[in-house]
Amino acid sequence: MTNEPAMSADPFQGERPRHTHFHERQAALNVREAWSAWNGFRFADYYYDPEYEYFCIRNFCGTYDICPMQKYYISGPDAAAMLDRMVTRDIKKLNVNRVTYCVWCTDEGRIVDDGTIFRISEDTYMLTCGSPSVSWLRKSAIGFDDVTITDMTDEIAGLSLQGPTSYSTLKAMGLEGLETLKPFGIMRFPFNGVELMVSRTGFTGDLGYELWIDPSQALAMWDALYAAGKDFGIHPYGETATDMARLEAGFIMPDMELSESLKTIHFEHDQSPFELNLGWLVDFKKPHFNGRRALLEERERGPKWTLVKLDIPGNKVAEGAIMYDTEDCDNEIGYVTSAMWSPSVKANIALAMIKTPALKGDIWAEIYYQKELRYYRKMALCEVKDKPFWMPARTRQTPPEVYS
């Protein structure tokens, strides 16, 4: 006999990613076993093939698990005032059953995170964001006597349904009246004795919805949704296809375009709203908010960097490319954050951070690409685009087109 503790059969017990509320159904469909982790949850990179999944959401509809997304209720008479102090947008303008995109900053005007705020009742808001933010929310609530912060991440199952046949699928599921729901709106429906909240939101730049339900009915909702969508090409899609779709829409992605300011080490390796072309999210007409003074100064002098959309000649993806102001690499002016060959746009596209003064001249990308195990180099003269690469009319069309 010894006093040594028994060895666990699993040396990593307690450290493995948790399963989301939809994992049982997703695991059966993930034939490649292509998993990663997001906020401590097991999360699909892809199920079968990323490009196949991408085409599913561009031509039919697909589901994307958003259970790992952080979800917080901010409630009480002071909820609106507290959020208005924290974020750069005027939250008091947000009506009940509406959603808005927002960012929040440090006092230096650097972005802590971005996310969406749902006004689900007169005094209750739901904030969704990519990274855990409960500590920042609690700090932001200091000085507000009547506000409650509740972490609802495990209490709400979230599933995104995106693509042109998403409305037809939900209509076939029996969600009557959904045709009147406008972008960034919220509707509620009864489902198996609980409430199913549907928002017309998403991260693909296409027609789409997000479904929010009590975890006890998550699998039942999945089954009902897939039964309704069987004639509309419904498939699951993972993070890789999401990244392709959001880049076409010109949306920023954390750890690519956005470095959260509380996580960076090097000075100014984070970003401000103006640097990410999100100045439209900053409302200087409202009273004081975090970072207001610094952002006002930045607006007057102009941002050091500006995120731009680029159309690049040829088909060599500019991933990781360094940008110059001349073809002979005379002066480095920026870097690519995301790049891809767009199947829908049929173009070589990228997002890049460029030194703002350099936007007045030419922008060249130094691209390295591989061909039969050899690396080659080319210089490409880029064209700055003002509009999203992909944003079809159906994204905002109300009522949406019905497929049969």
Alpha-carbon gap, residue 99 to 101, rounded angstroms: 7
For residue 281, give the DSSP letter: G
Query: Treating both helix axes as pointing N-terminal to C-terminal, what angle do 239-249 and 50-59 enclose, rounded to 10 degrees?
Result: 50
Structure tokens given for 302: 């102009």
If phi > 0 it is left, if psi is from -120 to 50 it is alpha, else beta; for residue 174 that is left
Distance CA 328, CA 48 (A): 42
How many CB atoms sit inside 10 A of residue 184's CB? 17
210 annotated binding-site participant: yes
CA distance 59 to 51: 12
What is 110-154 written as a DSSP string? -EEEEEEEEEEETTEEEEEESS--HHHHHHHTTT-SS-EEEE-TT
* Dihedral angle, C-alpha 70, 71, 77, 78, nearest 10 °: 10
For 230, phi and psi rounded to 5 degrees? -60, -30
Write out the binding residues for substrate: 210
Write out the binding residues: 210
